[in-house]
Amino acid sequence: MSYFLSKEESNFYEDEGYLVRENQFSINEVNALRHALERAVNKAQEKSSGGKAYYLDKKKFVDVDYMTLQYEPQSEDNILKVIEPAHFLDKELYSLTQDTRITDPVRSILEEDEISLWTDKLNLKRPGRGSGFGWHQDSPYWVHDSNNVDLLPNVYLSLDNADENNGCFRVIRASHKEGCLPGTSNGTQLGGFYTDPNYFNEADAVDFNIKAGSLVFFNQHIVHGSGPNLSDQQRRAYIITYQPKDQPMLKSGMVNNIN
Ligand X SMILES: O=C(O)CCC(=O)C(=O)O
Question: Can you give the binding site for ligand X, defined by CB under 6 A?
Answer: 121, 123, 133, 138, 169, 224-226, 237, 239
- β-sheet bridge partners, residue 56: 59
Q: In angstroms, rounded to a whole number, what is the distance separating the alpha carbons of residues 199 and 59?
A: 26
The nearer residue to ligand X, 79 or 245, going by C-beta atoms, is 79
Residue 1 CB, nearest distance to ligand X (Å)?
A: 28
Report the C-alpha dihedral over residues 170, 175, 181, 183, rounded to 10 degrees: -30
Nearest to 178 by CA among 195, 190, 154, 161: 195
The nearer residue to ligand X, 21 or 121, going by C-beta atoms, is 121
Cα atoms in the Cβ-side hemisphere of radius 13 Å centred on 41: 21
The nearer residue to ligand X, 37 or 237, going by C-beta atoms, is 237
Burial class (CB in 10 A: 0-12, 13-18, 19+), 94: middle
Q: Are 71 and 59 in contact (CB under 8 A)?
A: yes
The nearer residue to ligand X, 189 or 257, going by C-beta atoms, is 189
Residue 2 CB, nearest distance to ligand X (Å)?
A: 28
The nearer residue to ligand X, 221 or 224, going by C-beta atoms, is 224
The nearer residue to ligand X, 164 or 246, going by C-beta atoms, is 164
Report the b/e string of 207-246 with b at 16+ CB within 10 A: ebebebbbbbbbbbbbbbbbbbbebebbbbbbbbbbbbee
Residue 84 CB, nearest distance to ligand X (Å)?
A: 8
Which DSSP letter does residue 194 get?
B
Residue 151 CB, nearest distance to ligand X (Å)?
A: 17
Residue nearest to ligand X (CB): 226
Residue 81 CB, nearest distance to ligand X (Å)?
A: 9
| CA distances, 2 to each of 105, 111, 197, 199 (Å) | 9, 15, 39, 38
- β-sheet bridge partners, residue 257: 116
Residue 73 CB, nearest distance to ligand X (Å)?
A: 15
The nearer residue to ligand X, 7 or 34, going by C-beta atoms, is 34
Residue 208 CB, nearest distance to ligand X (Å)?
A: 9
